[in-house]
């Protein structure tokens, strides 16, 4: 799979942008994930070397935070809010609908679309909420979800 | 004729229901009809149920149009939108909307009103006045005003801000920090976000005041990654402040240096706990620290640190401008001032309501909220996020007061109010509380790490009808252990929602299986 090729140059550039400060490890990883979508094992080794940290330090941080995927996601990332305010407006049923429409369980990828849970998007007065490729949508019923996914796929 | 000012919020909730598309369509329609307009992307007034809320300024007054979709735009222009023309979407003057005028907007007064990324607009609306006053009067005067105000931490713990600031001010160190907690992870809360999107310069001013008061030259904002639009707005506001001498060395020639670094979280709920947040700001796993030492003595990088929530900090400028006494005169008992309550979940008129403490839950849910969105009966209300108790429909007359909530085994927390109608299965909600704790536990202490997983299992057995009484007792005992022996509020308060279900909705354990 082409995505598995890690762009070491870009990673190094990101490290440089953050001044190679080891205390900015979380920020550096976040910048890499926003760009590449995930953190590969070789990236962990690379960051350890460039930030003068141990491999265990970097691995520990990567494995701790939900945002730091260690597998390549699909081209599109769909997050469905699982928290209480959205539950009160039917997010459990919406999640079931999303699983069946996208043909994958939570944390899975199918047809280049990754489906993930998220615990609050801060859009609780316009629940239920979903985030598609970084954009938050509110008042999402199953019909609106289908439309949003349709637009997402057209934009691919 | 000068350009008609049209306001369309650039705020997550408004944008999530189409505000960007509406703004785009307004610009297009203005061009098509040759109408001279100035499109302003303001923050939200907080009436999320009316979003996208479009306003037009007519003779100095703003006329509001609610729930506007891009399909309405051409029709609105034809109806004379720029003159405030009549239309089904027209709500009348913004300042006469009941939902807004009945509030006590101390902290959020600029949200919705101004262009958040215009320094000129900010200055026109008292922006940086409080910082100038603080710089002129000295740190002691700020510390006294904050102490007198009775302001308490709005992140959830309710610790007196004046005491925290005084402690850091009195601690000797060459370097001190202001760490703004913007990791607003509680479901049902969005007040930090609305403030940062609607009045980001106000937060920057507040942090500079805090830095000046305690002798800190550096501030950090720890913003959750789930708020990308907030990140974009805040980043631009920081640049704006820096480029105009309101951040950096020698602010406005006062001799005071202060700058702010914006950090992103990475999806960990427990990083909203102050010591876990400090760990994360240091680039590490967000694992909770033992206390003591308190962050005020040994915080970020071991230096004295003020850790305050966004809303706490943003409440300070008006305390400086209007005096601590004014603030302390609002509210009840030891709950002084206002709180930005957030009406969420199954509610007809969801949004942000800043109101003095002492208002009742019923007033918020019925008078402001208009009851459930579904029109069904209210069954449960969770106040204070995922670690807050579920209240029953019979408990709605309680007044919003930190201590009154503690008395009934509940908490106000960050002010989130999530309403559920009678279709909710409370056994599932109790299960979710434990499940969420299991997903988000940092793992440092055993009661939280192991207890949460065992909690899910016990609740599953209760739902399945296995030895319901024995498992009930076991769950109560598990809640005791987690509450008494956890290191922080994650494990220590997860029992709150669970116990409230056991105490008030126990019958749902029996019926839950039938609904599966």
CA-based R_g, chain B, Å:
24
Structural domain boundaries, residue B319: 119-327
- Last residue in a domain, options B43, B66, B101: B101
Percentage of chain B beyond pLDDT 70 is 99
Q: What is the pLDDT of residue B1?
A: 61
Structural domain boundaries, residue A145: 76-154
Residue given tokens 């990308």 in the structure block: B228
Q: What is the pLDDT of residue A155?
A: 82
Long-range contacts of residues B296-301, Cβ cutoff 8 Å, at least 24 apart: B296/B164, B296/B167, B296/B168, B296/B171, B297/B167, B297/B171, B299/B177, B299/B179, B300/B177, B300/B179, B300/B220, B301/A23, B301/B175, B301/B177
| Separation of alpha carbons B467 and B475, rounded Å | 12
φ/ψ (deg, to 5) at B502: -60, -40
Render pLDDT for B124-163 as a digit per residue (tens, 0 to 9).
Answer: 999 999 999 999 999 999 999 999 999 999 999 999 999 9
Q: What is the pLDDT of residue B32?
A: 97
Residue A24 touches chain B, beta carbons under 8 Å: yes
For range B221-234, the mean pLDDT: 98
The answer on A83 and A147 residing in a single domain is: yes
The answer on A144 and A95 residing in a single domain is: yes
Q: Which two tokens stand for residue A26?
A: 């979380």
Beta bridge partners of B424: none
The answer on A113 and A90 residing in a single domain is: yes
Q: What is the pLDDT of residue B516?
A: 54
Q: What is the pLDDT of residue B515?
A: 60
Does the residue B85 lie in any domain?
yes
pLDDT above 60 (res A1):
no
The answer on A127 and A106 residing in a single domain is: yes
The answer on B373 and B303 residing in a single domain is: no
The answer on B437 and B388 residing in a single domain is: no
| Separation of alpha carbons B429 and B384, rounded Å | 15
Q: Which two tokens stand for residue B428?
A: 């599932």
The answer on B320 and B350 residing in a single domain is: no
From chain B residues 181-220, the ones with a CB under 8 A of any chain A CB are 184-190, 193
| Separation of alpha carbons B353 and B343, rounded Å | 8
**Contact criterion met (CB below 8 Å) for B316 and B130:** yes
- Last residue in a domain, options A31, A64, A97: A64
The answer on A59 and A83 residing in a single domain is: no
We report the CATH number of the domain holding residue B502 as 1.20.1440.230
From the CA of B121, how many Å to the nearest CA of chain A?
27
Does the residue A15 lie in any domain?
yes
Neighbours of B184 (CB within 10 A): 30
Instruction: Closest CB to A123: pick one of B190, B419, B432.
Output: B190
Render pLDDT for B421-445 as a digit per residue (tens, 0 to 9).
Answer: 999 999 999 999 999 999 999 999 9
With cut-offs at 50, 70 and 90, classify the pLDDT of residue B512: confident
With cut-offs at 50, 70 and 90, classify the pLDDT of residue A156: low
Look at residue B410 and give its three-state secondary structure. Answer: coil
The answer on B188 and B295 residing in a single domain is: yes
The answer on A148 and A91 residing in a single domain is: yes
Render pLDDT for A87-137 as a digit per residue (tens, 0 to 9).
Answer: 999 999 999 999 999 999 999 999 999 999 999 999 999 999 999 999 999
Q: What is the pLDDT of residue A6?
A: 81
**Contact criterion met (CB below 8 Å) for A125 and B48:** yes
Pairing of strands B37-40, A113-118: unpaired
The answer on A116 and A51 residing in a single domain is: no
Does the residue A40 lie in any domain?
yes
Nearest to B368 by CA among B330, B388, B342: B342
From chain B residues 86-145, the ones with a CB under 8 A of any chain A CB are none
- Rounded to 5°, the CA angle B465-B466-B472 comes to 90
- Last residue in a domain, options A64, A93, A113: A64
Predicted TM-score (pTM) of this structure: 0.97
Contacts of B440 in chain A (CB under 8 A): 119
For range B190-196, the mean pLDDT: 98
pLDDT above 60 (res A21):
yes
The answer on A126 and A101 residing in a single domain is: yes
Residue B269 touches chain A, beta carbons under 8 Å: yes
The answer on A10 and A80 residing in a single domain is: no
Percentage of chain A beyond pLDDT 90 is 95
- Last residue in a domain, options A43, A64, A85: A64
The answer on A101 and A148 residing in a single domain is: yes
Render pLDDT for B454-472 as a digit per residue (tens, 0 to 9).
Answer: 999 999 999 999 999 999 9
The answer on A82 and A55 residing in a single domain is: no
Q: What is the ipTM of this complex?
A: 0.97
Total domains present in chain A? 2
Does the residue B108 lie in any domain?
no
| Separation of alpha carbons B118 and B39, rounded Å | 13
The answer on B358 and B306 residing in a single domain is: no
The answer on B284 and B174 residing in a single domain is: yes
The answer on B384 and B479 residing in a single domain is: no
pLDDT above 70 (res B98):
yes
We report the CATH number of the domain holding residue A123 as 3.40.30.10
Render pLDDT for B53-88 as a digit per residue (tens, 0 to 9).
Answer: 999 999 999 999 999 999 999 999 999 999 999 999
> Testing the interface with B: which of A29, A86, A125 to mutate, by most B Cβ within 10 A?
A125
pLDDT above 60 (res A71):
yes
Residue A26 touches chain B, beta carbons under 8 Å: yes
pLDDT above 90 (res B350):
yes
> Testing the interface with A: which of B226, B235, B311, B381 to mutate, by most A Cβ within 10 A?
B226
Q: What is the pLDDT of residue B513?
A: 65
Contacts of B265 in chain A (CB under 8 A): 26, 67
> Testing the interface with A: which of B192, B229, B345 to mutate, by most A Cβ within 10 A?
B345
The answer on B90 and B132 residing in a single domain is: no
**Contact criterion met (CB below 8 Å) for B469 and B435:** no
For range B359-388, the mean pLDDT: 98
Q: What is the pLDDT of residue B511?
A: 82
Report H helices in B290-388: 310-314, 316-322, 324-328, 361-362
For range B85-112, the mean pLDDT: 98
Does the residue A42 lie in any domain?
yes
Q: What is the pLDDT of residue B41?
A: 98
The answer on B314 and B338 residing in a single domain is: no
Does the residue A71 lie in any domain?
no
We report the CATH number of the domain holding residue B361 as 3.10.20.600
**Contact between chains at B424 and A134 (C-beta distance less than 8 A):** no
Contacts of B49 in chain A (CB under 8 A): 125
Total domains present in chain B? 4
Does the residue A109 lie in any domain?
yes
- Last residue in a domain, options B292, B327, B362: B327
With cut-offs at 50, 70 and 90, classify the pLDDT of residue A5: low
Q: What is the pLDDT of residue A2?
A: 45
**Contact between chains at B344 and A65 (C-beta distance less than 8 A):** no
For range B286-308, the mean pLDDT: 97
Q: Chain B residue with minimal CA distance to A80?
A: B226
The answer on A90 and A128 residing in a single domain is: yes
The answer on B490 and B502 residing in a single domain is: yes
With cut-offs at 50, 70 and 90, classify the pLDDT of residue B358: very high
**Contact between chains at A29 and B266 (C-beta distance less than 8 A):** yes
Does the residue A70 lie in any domain?
no
- Last residue in a domain, options B391, B406, B421: B421
């Amino acid at each position: 799979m082409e995505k598995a090729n890690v762009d070491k140059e870009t990673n190094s550039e990101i490290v440089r942008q953050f001044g190679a400060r080891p205390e900015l490890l979380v920020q550096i990883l976040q910048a890499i994930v926003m760009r590449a979508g995930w953190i590969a094992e070789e990236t962990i080794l690379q960051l350890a070397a460039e930030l003068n940290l141990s491999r265990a330090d970097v691995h520990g941080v990567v494995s701790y935070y939900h945002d730091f995927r260690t597998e390549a996601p699909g081209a599109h990332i769909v997050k469905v809010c699982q928290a209480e305010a959205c539950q009160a407006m039917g997010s459990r049923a919406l999640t079931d609908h999303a699983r069946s429409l996208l043909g994958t369980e939570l944390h899975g990828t199918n047809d280049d679309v990754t489906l993930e849970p998220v615990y609050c998007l801060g859009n609780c007065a316009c629940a239920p909420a979903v985030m598609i490729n970084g954009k938050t949508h509110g008042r999402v019923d199953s019909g609106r979800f289908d439309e949003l996914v349709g637009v997402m796929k057209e934009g691919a | 004729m000068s350009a008609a000012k049209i306001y369309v919020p650039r705020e997550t909730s408004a944008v999530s229901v189409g505000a960007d598309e509406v703004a785009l369509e307004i610009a297009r329609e203005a061009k098509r009809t040759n109408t001279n307009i100035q499109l302003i992307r303001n923050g939200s007034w907080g009436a999320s149920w009316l979003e996208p809320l479009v306003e037009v300024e007519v003779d100095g007054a703003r006329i509001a149009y609610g729930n506007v979709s891009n399909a309405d735009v051409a029709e609105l222009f034809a109806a004379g939108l720029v003159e405030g023309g009549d239309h089904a979407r027209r709500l009348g003057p913004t300042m006469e909307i009941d939902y807004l005028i009945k509030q006590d907007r101390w902290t959020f007064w600029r949200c919705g009103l101004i262009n958040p990324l215009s320094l000129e607009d900010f200055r026109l609306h008292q922006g940086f006045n409080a910082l100038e006053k603080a710089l002129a009067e000295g740190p002691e005067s700020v510390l006294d005003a904050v102490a007198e105000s009775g302001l308490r931490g709005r992140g959830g713990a309710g610790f007196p801000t004046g005491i925290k600031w005084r402690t850091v001010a009195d601690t000797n160190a060459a370097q001190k920090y202001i760490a703004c907690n913007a990791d607003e992870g509680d479901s049902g809360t969005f007040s930090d976000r609305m403030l940062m999107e609607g009045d980001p310069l106000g937060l920057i001013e507040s942090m500079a005041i805090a830095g000046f008061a305690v002798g800190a030259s550096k501030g950090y904002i720890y913003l959750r990654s789930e708020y990308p639009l907030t990140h974009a707005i805040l980043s631009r506001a920081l640049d704006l402040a820096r480029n105009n001498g309101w951040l950096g060395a020698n602010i406005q020639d006062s001799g005071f240096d202060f700058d702010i670094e914006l950090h992103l979280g990475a999806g960990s709920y427990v990083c909203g706990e102050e010591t876990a947040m400090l760990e994360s700001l240091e680039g590490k796993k967000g694992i909770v620290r033992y206390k003591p030492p308190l962050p005020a003595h040994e915080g970020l990088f071991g230096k004295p640190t003020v850790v305050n929530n966004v809303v706490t900090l943003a409440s300070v400028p008006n305390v400086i401008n209007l005096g601590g006494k004014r603030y302390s005169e609002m509210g009840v008992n030891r709950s002084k001032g206002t709180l930005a309550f957030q009406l969420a979940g199954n509610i007809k008129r969801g949004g942000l309501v800043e109101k003095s403490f002492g208002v009742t839950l019923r007033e918020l849910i019925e008078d402001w909220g208009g009851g459930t969105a579904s029109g069904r009966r209210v069954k449960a209300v969770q106040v204070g996020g995922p670690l807050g108790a579920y209240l029953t429909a019979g408990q709605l007359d309680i007044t919003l007061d930190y201590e009154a909530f503690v008395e009934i085994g509940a908490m106000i927390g960050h002010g989130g109010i999530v309403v559920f109608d009678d279709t909710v299965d409370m056994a599932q909600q109790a299960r979710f509380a434990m499940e969420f704790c299991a997903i988000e536990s940092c793992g440092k202490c055993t009661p939280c790490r192991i207890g949460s997983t065992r909690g899910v299992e016990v609740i599953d057995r209760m739902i399945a009808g296995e030895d319901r009484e024995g498992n009930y007792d076991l769950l109560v005992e598990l809640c005791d252990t987690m509450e008494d022996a956890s290191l922080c509020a994650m494990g220590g308060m997860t029992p709150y929602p669970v116990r409230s279900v056991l105490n008030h909705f126990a019958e749902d354990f029996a019926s839950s299986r039938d609904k599966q």
